[in-house]
Amino acid sequence: MPPIVSVQNLDKTYDSGFTALRDVSLNIEEGEILALLGPNGAGKTTMISIICGITSKTGGTVTAGGFDIDQDFRSAREMIGLVPQEIAIDPFEKVLRAVRFSRGLHGCPPDEAYLEKLLRSLSLWDKRDTKIIELSGGMKRRVLIAKALSHQPRILFLDEPTAGVDVELRKDMWDVVRRLKEDGVTIILTTHYIEEAEAIADRVGVINKGQILLVEAKTHLMERLGRKQMEIYLQHPLQTVPDALSKYDLELGEDGETLIYTYDTQAERTGITTLLSDLSNAGVKLSDIQTRKSTLEEIFVDLVREQA
Ligand SMILES: Nc1ncnc2c1ncn2[C@@H]1O[C@H](COP(=O)(O)OP(=O)(O)OP(=O)(O)O)[C@@H](O)[C@H]1O
């Protein structure tokens, strides 16, 4: 299947002379949730704005649903819904009217049945005649999503959908995003929250200083770059790691009561069996063992640090 969004060799230099994107290429597959991770100023919003036709590019090509965003602007734009970072919404408008108005702005014929289905899927139907100002923060964000989906786009961009919201609301938003995916919408979200990508993304793209560092299936990324650590709790504290164990590069915990062994999950041999027997030969007695996988956060920090 051809990608639903294709970005090839995208460049963006602002009028100020600042280059925000440099030779960015990225394919987005239909039906996936792609999370774009990157520190402040990495270029995430710039990229989304270009794909959505809000900002002009200075080089490269972009297609949405097979339509070139320059040559077939209207058709490309119709494929896309955008929930921007900055919230611009009439607070005194009622929910259903606001969503209906957005649909009209896109030049779509009225379809009350679709709007009802949309509002129901976002648990907003009961609030359809409520003024937006009277809604909770979470509900307001849902109204933004409903507006962005009012013209039945196949692709939804969410720019920092949970910036500044509490943990409960964030989880609520994740459920909304998962349900949209089940309805067949392709979702691209930008986020600073790595646990957000970890929780809902199928693939993760890491962007830093205007360049894509990688785009990869989340599970694959965590397996490929992830490391595992084994914490070995000792019956008797050690002052130093015994020489006989030097080849394992063990870290001694501050209290001397734990040894930490880091190993590569991809390696043919983890070395655990020989380590345990060498520990026993060195007279080190264990009380417990625990293993821990590195989180996406640790992987991300390593990646961005490497590029610094
Ligand atoms: N209109 C503009 N003129 C000049 N530079 C700009 C303009 N808009 C953005 N930039 C710069 O381009 C870079 C990328 O900004 P962008 O908003 O795309 O980053 P981001 O990854 O979305 O960051 P954040 O997570 O903080 O929103 C930043 O250094 C920003 O200052």
What ranges do the domains of the chain cover?
5-209, 228-293
Q: How many angstroms from the chain centroid is the CA of residue 163?
A: 12
pLDDT bin (cut points 50, 70, 90) of residue 170 is confident
Same fold, 5-209 and 228-293: no
The model's pTM: 0.79
Task: Pick the residue whose CA is nearest to atom 12 on ligand 1.
Answer: 20
Centre of ligand 1 from the C-alpha of residue 190, in Å: 13
Q: How far is CA 246 from CA 184, 241, 267, in A?
A: 54, 7, 19
Instruction: Give the Å distance between the CA of 239 and the centre of ligand 1.
Output: 50
pLDDT tens sequence across 12-66: 999 999 999 999 999 999 999 999 988 888 999 999 999 999 999 999 999 999 9
pLDDT at 302: 73
Provide the sign of the torsion angle of the four alpha carbons 162, 178, 153, 136, taken in this order. negative
- State if residue 233 touches ligand 1 by the CB under 6 angstroms criterion: no
Query: For residue 164, what pLDDT is reported?
Result: 74
More confident residue, 45 or 269: 45
Q: Note whether 122 and 116 are within 8 A (CB).
A: no
The alpha-helical segments, DSSP class H, found in 183-282 are 194-200, 218-225, 272-281
For residue 264, how far is its CA from the centre of ligand 1 (angstroms)?
36
pLDDT of residue 194: 78
Determine the distance separating the centroid of ligand 1 and the alpha carbon of 36, expressed in angstroms: 15
Cα of 170 to ligand 1 centre, how many Å? 24
- What CATH number belongs to 228-293? 3.30.70
More confident call, 111 vs 222: 111
Decide: helix, strand or coil at residue 10. strand
* C-beta of 162 in contact with ligand 1 (< 6 A): no
Pocket lining: 234 vs ligand 1, CB cutoff 6 Å: no
Q: What is the pLDDT of residues 72-89, one digit of tens each?
A: 999 999 999 999 877 678
Q: Which of 94-98, 255-259, 278-282, 294-298 has the highest mean pLDDT?
A: 94-98
Ligand 1: does its nearest atom lie under 6 Å from the Cβ of 239?
A: no
- What pLDDT, on a 0 to 100 scale, did the predictor assign at position 122? 87
Do 169 and 137 meet the contact criterion of CB atoms below 8 Å apart? yes
45 touches ligand 1 (CB under 6 Å)? yes
Highest CATH level, class, for 5-209: alpha beta
Q: Residue 305: pLDDT above 90?
A: no
Query: What residue's CA is closest to ligand 1, atom 1?
Result: 14
Ligand 1 centroid distance, CA of 174 (Å): 25
Q: Calculate how far, in angstroms, residue 283's C-alpha sits from the geometric centre of ligand 1.
A: 58
- Residue in 21, 40, 56 to alter for ligand 1 test, most ligand atoms within 8 A of Cβ: 40
222 lines ligand 1 (CB under 6 A): no
